[in-house]
Amino acid sequence: MPRSAPILAIFHPGALGDGLLALTALRALQTKFHGHRMIWFGHKELGGVFVDAHEVHQSYSFDSLNFLAYGGDKGCQQRLLSSLFGRCERAVGWLGDSNGIWRNWFGTVGIKHLILCSPHDPSLRHSHMADRYVETLQPWFPTQQAFNQLEKNLHDERLLVLPQSQTVGKSCSSKDLLIVLHPGSGSTHKCAPPPLWANIVNGLMARPHRRVCLVGGSADTDSLRRVQSLLTHFQPTILVGLDLLSVGRYLQHAQLFIGHDSGLSHLAGRLGVPSVLLFGPTDPAKWAPRGKHVAVMRNSCHCVGKESIDQCIDKHCFSIPTNEVMTKAEELLCGMNVSMSRAPLGFVDEFPHVSCLG
C-alpha cells in the first residue's frame, strides 16, 4: 500500500483482548475501504502483531495521543503527526467521548468521515463484543441490506497468521505435542485457583510425548509461582518476559491452549489453536473467543454487574472438576487431529525461560 494513499485511522484505547475482539470489524473496514492505508492507534504490542499479520499497514500506541485528550503540550507531537492526519480521510474511534474532546479534535484536524462510538454503548443491540464492534460501523453502509450482507460475510473468519521467524525456520522438529497453559489474567477474579491448575499440569504431563509450557508476563509471576509450588512430580517449561509477537509466534505451533478470559486466550483463539478456556464471573456469551476449536468451561455464577464481579471471591464459578477439564482437552486434541495439522516446534530452549520461579 503506497504511503500516499488516503488514511483510515482506528483509535482503540482498550486492552489486548478488546483489541482482538475488534479484529472482525477491522477486517470489515479493510474490505470496504481497500484503497486506504489502515493505521492502528491502540494497544502497542497488539499493533505490532496486526502489522506483522498484515491486518493493518502501520501502528502507534494509543498512549502517544494522551496529550490530545488531556490537554498537554501539543507542539512537538502534533507536528510529528500533522502530515499523517492531513491525509486521514476517515477515522473510527472505539471510545467514549461524553465531554466531546475527541469529536472536537477530529473536527480540528479535518477528518471528514468519522464514526465515534464505544462498543459498550447501551444502544447497540448485539450481545457478543465482536458483533458490537461490527455494529458500530453501520453508518458507513448505505442500506440495512448491505449491513446484513456484511455480517453474513464475516460469519466464517480466516485465522490470524503470523510469519515464521528465522528462529522457527532453523528449529528442529519434535514429535511431542506442544500444550501451552496461561494460568494468569489481567484481573485476579478471572483466575481459577492454583490447585486446579496444578492438577491440570500433572494430568497433562503424566502422559508421554507432551511438552507442557506455562506462559505469562510480568503481571502473571505470582500466579505462575503459586501453581509451580503445588507441583510435586513434574516441572513444566515456564516462558516469561516475551513480547506479544514472540508469544504469538510460539502459540501458533501449539496443539492445545488452556487459559482464562484473557488477552492471550483471544490471541490463541484467533490463531486457531484448540483451546479450553476456564471462565469465571465474566459472561462467555459476551467475551469468549468464538469458533469450533474453542471450548468454554464454567460453573454457574450469580455475579451480575462490574461491582459484584470485582467482589467475587468464593470462586464457585471455577468449581470445575479436573477430570472434566482433562476430558475436554483430550477431545480437542483428538477431534482436531492436531498432530497432523500444525507444524511441530522444537525451539523452546531458545526462548528466555526459567525452571523455577522460587
Count of residues in the chain: 358
Note the pLDDT of residue 145: 86
Q: Are 252 and 271 in contact (CB under 8 A)?
A: yes
Instruction: Identify how many contiguous H helices and E strands the chain contains and give both numbers.
Output: 17, 12
Give 197-255 pLDDT, tens digit per residue.
999 999 999 999 899 999 998 888 888 999 999 998 888 999 988 999 999 999 999 99
> Which of 88-92, 119-123, 228-232, 299-303 is predicted least confidently?
299-303
Tell me which fold the domain 166-354 belongs to: Rossmann fold (3.40.50)
d(C-alpha 355, C-alpha 358), whole Å: 9
CATH class of 7-153: alpha beta
Find the mean pLDDT for residues 260-276: 97
Amino acid at 355: S
What are the φ and ψ backbone dihedral angles of 94, each rounded to 5 degrees?
A: -90, 70
**Predicted pLDDT at 339:** 41
**CA angle, corner 141, sides to 139 and 142, nearest 5?**
100
What residue spans define the domains of the chain?
7-153, 166-354
Claim: this prediction has a pTM higher than 0.85: yes
Distances 240 to 73, 133, 256 between C-alpha atoms, Å: 37, 32, 19
Band of residue 259 on the pLDDT scale cut at 50, 70, 90: very high
Count the neighbouring beta carbons within 10 Å of the beta carbon of residue 192: 25
Q: Which residue has the higher pLDDT, 210 or 1?
A: 210
**Distance separating alpha carbons of residues 235 and 141, to the nearest angstrom:** 54
